[in-house]
Structure 1
Amino acid sequence: MTVVQSSPDVGLDRFTEWLPGVDVQLVRADLGDALPGPTEVGDGLLVLGGQMSAYDDHAAPWLRPLRDLLAVVSATDVPALGICLGAQLLAVARGGRVQVAAPPGCEAGVIDVRWRPEAATDSLVAPLVPLAGAARSTPLPSMHSDAVVDLPRGAVWLAASATYPFQAFRIGSAWGVQFHPEAGLTTLRGWAEGDDRVDTDAVVAQMTERAAEVEAAGRAVAQAFVNVVHDRAFARRTRP
């Protein structure tokens, strides 16, 4: 599976230990690594977040070919997952729209992700629905101010939050999640400390108070994606 990293401080974090049985090929696009072609991503594609916007092609020239890669891979049977910036790139790649510095402002800390009915049968997020309980919401880390404001045509809307509606969606063989299932306390604290708009103490308190729930949810997303990657790879290799 190929993992594309676009910023030095937005890595795999806890996913490093939560992707068992997966051969990860890390592409540091921010350090000049070349992106693979659509047939070279292996059994899956994971696109991480970043400090730039989804349209910031001048500062990050790999974003245009990364959007192209997401557009092609999502139209195949190879699973892809975009996190935060990765979700925004997926949305734009398939015809959706992202608003830079969206008016609701920075969504930071632990947020309650509310699952829509479509989530109950979705291959990636269905395992989180039972964890949500009667409120049908799951606490997950977040740190962003750009946001998807129009989903691509044909996308399935899976989750929302009180601040931003498009927290998770699926299109073709790809998923986009605005939240950060991979982020642990140290990482989220570092992001908060680098943003004057964010109350770092509040973010740390939220992560500490809800640590067990946040970790369970993050593990569930990682394991579900691993399962999808393995299942679809097996189906391809045993196809007559």
Structure 2
Amino acid sequence: MARLLVVVPSDTDPPTRLGEWLTGAGLELDERRLSTGEPLPADLTGHDGLLVLGGPQSSLDDDTVSPELVGVRHLLGQAVAADVPTLAICLGAQLLAQVGGGSTRVGVDGPEVGPTLVAKRDAAEADPLFAPLPLSPDVVQWHHDEIDRLPAGATLLASNPRYPHQAYRVGAHVYGLQFHIETDEHLVRQWADSDAVGVASTGTDVETVCAAAAAVHPDVAEVWAPFAGRFAALVRDRAAARG
């Protein structure tokens, strides 16, 4: 069975529904929770793909503030160098942009929080994961930093008017998503209860944000569960090629 290394930088963002979709698509998940001290492997030997999730850490944190991200950056750099099938979400996507030669900063338009739409770019129509998506799929946002510059040669796959670098690909198989597709109602409630600044940026309140997310979760699953299946196929293909 193809093995996917799942890096969980914070217990506040486990794989949740995304993990279920990937397991259902035939992957074995090797989950490493950094907040409980679980070690990361030194390299990706023995794994056929990589998933990096989000967390409250900032991509701008240095090694003394968030030392647990040192190993995450190392693995993402290896994935880029070897074009290992990778899905990096929110904080993961920001770290991926950095190691690939791009950059991040505090979001110039403030936090982006709650359900919204992103729009596929023209290049998405030639991408094996993004081509089947609807033109403007539902997603859940929860970030304070932004990717202000993509790595050189990266392919922009989705944008929105507020923050243009919503999804991108490095090489052929390494993907970054600024938004979330893994959330469920419990996870959004946890985030809303712990992020007063983010909720305030919406101009509403915790209950409104949670209700709005709950309303779009079925649509998120309808669109992004098949996307997860297509990503799993990349991981299985790499496993087969490796023998």
Provide the TM-score with structure 1 as the length reference: 0.90
Taking the aligned partners of 1:11 and 1:112, their CA distance within structure 2 comes to 23
Alignment of 1:10-25 (within 5 A): 10-19=13-22, 20=24, 21-25=26-30
Provide the TM-score with structure 2 as the length reference: 0.89
- 2:241 paired with 1:235: yes
Equivalent residues of 1:4, 1:27 under 8 A apart: yes
- 2:9 paired with 1:6: yes
- State the secondary structure of the residue aligned to 2:39: coil
- Residue 10 of structure 1 and its aligned partner are, at CA, apart by 0.7
User: What is the number of equivalent residue pairs in this alignment?
Assistant: 230
Query: What residue ranges of structure 2 are gaps of 5+ in the alignment?
Result: 200-204
- Report the AA paired with residue 138 of structure 1: P
- Report the AA paired with residue 160 of structure 1: S
- Residue 159 of structure 1 and its aligned partner are, at CA, apart by 0.5
Of 33-42 and 69-78, deviating more is 33-42
Alignment of 1:22-171 (within 5 A): 22-40=27-45, 42-56=47-61, 57-100=63-106, 102-128=107-133, 132=134, 136-171=135-170
Equivalent residues of 1:45, 1:79 under 8 A apart: yes
Equivalent residues of 1:123, 1:228 under 8 A apart: no
Taking the aligned partners of 1:59 and 1:8, their CA distance within structure 2 comes to 17
Query: Which consecutive aligned stretches of 4+ in structure 1 deviate over 4 angstroms post-superposition?
Result: none
- Report the AA paired with residue 103 of structure 1: V
Query: What residue ranges of structure 1 are gaps of 5+ in the alignment?
Result: none
- State the secondary structure of the residue aligned to 1:27: strand
- Residue 63 of structure 1 and its aligned partner are, at CA, apart by 1.2
Show CA shifts across 1:145-193 (max 9, x none).
1110000101001111221110000002311001111111221121112
**Residues 1:170 and 1:183: Cα distance change in structure 2 (over 3 Å):** same
- 2:210 paired with 1:188: no
Taking the aligned partners of 2:102 and 2:46, their CA distance within structure 1 comes to 23
Equivalent residues of 1:181, 1:217 under 8 A apart: no
Taking the aligned partners of 1:16 and 1:235, their CA distance within structure 2 comes to 23
- State the secondary structure of the residue aligned to 2:66: coil
- Report the AA paired with residue 3 of structure 1: V
Equivalent residues of 2:44, 2:78 under 8 A apart: no
- Residue 41 of structure 1 and its aligned partner are, at CA, apart by 5.3
Identity %: 40
| Alignment partner, residue 201 of structure 1 | 207
Equivalent residues of 1:114, 1:161 under 8 A apart: yes
Taking the aligned partners of 2:151 and 2:227, their CA distance within structure 1 comes to 22
- State the secondary structure of the residue aligned to 2:14: coil
